[in-house]
Amino acid sequence: MYRIIHRLRAGSIEVDAGEFVQYRMLGTELSVPTYAYLIAGEGVDPVLVDSGAGDHNALRSELKRHGLSYGDVRTVIFTHLHFDHAGGASEFPSTTMFAINRRELEFAAGGMMRRDYRLAHLELFLDRTHTPGTIWFFDFQQLERQYVLPGISVAPAAAHTEGSMNVFVETKEGVACICGDVVQDVKMQVVEPPFQTNHREPRMAGNSGMTQLADRAAIKALLGQVHWLLPAHDDSYKVADGRIVGRLSGAHAPGPIDALQ
């Protein structure tokens, strides 16, 4: 089953430029958007990936624009549980299934990267572990993909946090990946990474809980597997032959693309 993916504006966050992209203007504050993604298809229930930075009005308005309310979303897949990805989770009723890598909840509850996790969000997810039918855990042995719904699968990101997941969606123009924070700034990390001399060598983010080797490998692997790259804090991009070849000009994928500037 082929799906279409709509990018939803779900708030914004203030970040240090040098943490967003390693070594870039350290100490300079940036305001960057946070996106959630609505996966739609004819005759199927809508699926949301991530719930944004907690700007409930923004996400509510975006859902309404697509004829939906929070209660109409049957499944929310979380790439990871940082506050800017799980901030809107409390708005969803218990009838909405939360899907997540079990390792991510363990990692978050263990106090790692504490400033990026919020206790209220973790309590919400932990409460669901005691409420039948409200949380869906994925357990991975390696980097295998696991089925979610027709046309949708998930796999460990092996980057950013120990439990981050990538969400793969089958579209009419190839596989799209909603990659959370595996890539945060496509131009600065992949297209024109600063201070890089090696061929096709991506620049790391500065706020990863993984090794640089893990993050580099994860980015390179994604570029070789997908046709659309949809990050949480940047525009969406078209990928061909392992390279970024264009920027999505609208807010849904597949869709028309603009040439890279």
The answer to whether the CB of 172 falls within 8 A of the CB of 254 is yes
Task: Find the helix packing angle between 119-128 and 102-109, rounded to 10°.
Answer: 140
Percent share of the chain, pLDDT over 70: 99
Residue 216: predicted pLDDT? 93
Average pLDDT, the chain: 93
Residue 59: domain span: 4-258
Q: How many domains does the chain have?
A: 1
Per-residue pLDDT reduced to its tens digit, 166-212:
999 999 999 999 999 999 999 999 998 877 788 989 988 888 889 88
Cα–chain-centroid distance for residue 148?
Answer: 16
User: Which CATH number belongs to the domain containing residue 120 in this structure?
Assistant: 3.60.15.10
Residue 18: predicted pLDDT? 80
pTM of the model: 0.96
Structure tokens at 257: 């693309």
Per-residue pLDDT reduced to its tens digit, 46-100:
999 999 998 889 999 999 999 999 999 999 999 999 999 999 999 999 999 999 9
The answer to whether the CB of 169 falls within 8 A of the CB of 178 is yes
Question: Confidence class of residue 111 from pLDDT cuts 50, 70 and 90?
Answer: confident
pLDDT greater than 90 at residue 42? no
Strand residue runs (E) in 165-251: 165-171, 174-178, 228-230, 237-240, 243-248
Question: Confidence class of residue 113 from pLDDT cuts 50, 70 and 90?
Answer: low
Residue 193: predicted pLDDT? 87
